[in-house]
Amino acid sequence: MSRSELEEYIFFMLRQYRLVDALWFLGVEDRFGLDKAVKLNEEIWEDLASRLGRDIKRRFNIKGGGISPVIKALRYVPWTIITGYEIEEARDNAIIRVPNCPPQEARLRSGRKVFPCKAMHQKSFQSFANAIDERVKVECIFAPPDPRPPGLWCEWKFIYE
């Protein structure tokens, strides 16, 4: 493959990754209800995030502790690329902002309501951070079902303790 074909293929695979997640969630929601889908989603993403963090740390030789290695590893996560996280990194903390949320936006376009993803992301981000450095804690500034400002879906703070 040429470089442009490889890039196109990577974005194709990322889209498939997103679609599998979306279709799985919608299937569970339609069969068992939103509450059960949300709860199962929390459990799966918490586990996946831990596995993903360990794998990224090993594969991409992420060394050391603190905010910088966690954010470096986070940049390899498919959702970081798919969603286009805005990351503001400082020495002892980082802010993650999500201006566009493909799953939530797709739900709204299809006539569904926004689903409460705050607990799932809290567990997922914390589990991921723990896989890199257990001293990094994650705080939610806001996420659905919280009220949000226009143009922003959620905001998270990673803090090195």
Backbone angles phi, psi at 93, to 5 degrees: -160, 170
- Total domains in the fold of the chain: 1
CB-based contact 84:75 (threshold 8 Å):
no
Query: In the prediction, which pLDDT does 140 show?
Result: 98
Q: Which residue positions in the chain have pLDDT lower than 50?
A: none
Reduced to 3 states (helix: H, G, I; strand: E, B; else coil), residue 70 is: helix
Domain that holds residue 31: 3-160
Between CA 4 and CA 77 the distance in angstroms is 21
Phi/psi for 34 (5° steps) reads -65, -45
pLDDT of residue 138: 98
Chain segment 91-109, per-residue pLDDT in tens: 999 999 999 999 999 999 9
* Predicted pLDDT of residue 22: 94
Whole-number pLDDT of residue 38: 97
Task: For strands 93-98 and 154-160, give the pairing.
Answer: antiparallel
**CA pair distance 95, 93, nearest whole angstrom:** 7
Encoded tokens for 19: 């679609």
Name the 3-class secondary structure at 23.
Answer: helix
- What percent of the chain is predicted at pLDDT more than 70? 100
CA–CA gap between residue 8 and residue 5 (Å, rounded): 5
Amino acid 86 reads E
Q: What secondary structure letter does DSSP report for 146?
A: S
- pLDDT at residue 76 in the model: 97
Residue 36: per-residue pLDDT = 97
Q: What does the pLDDT read at residue 70?
A: 98
CATH code, 141:
3.30.1380.20
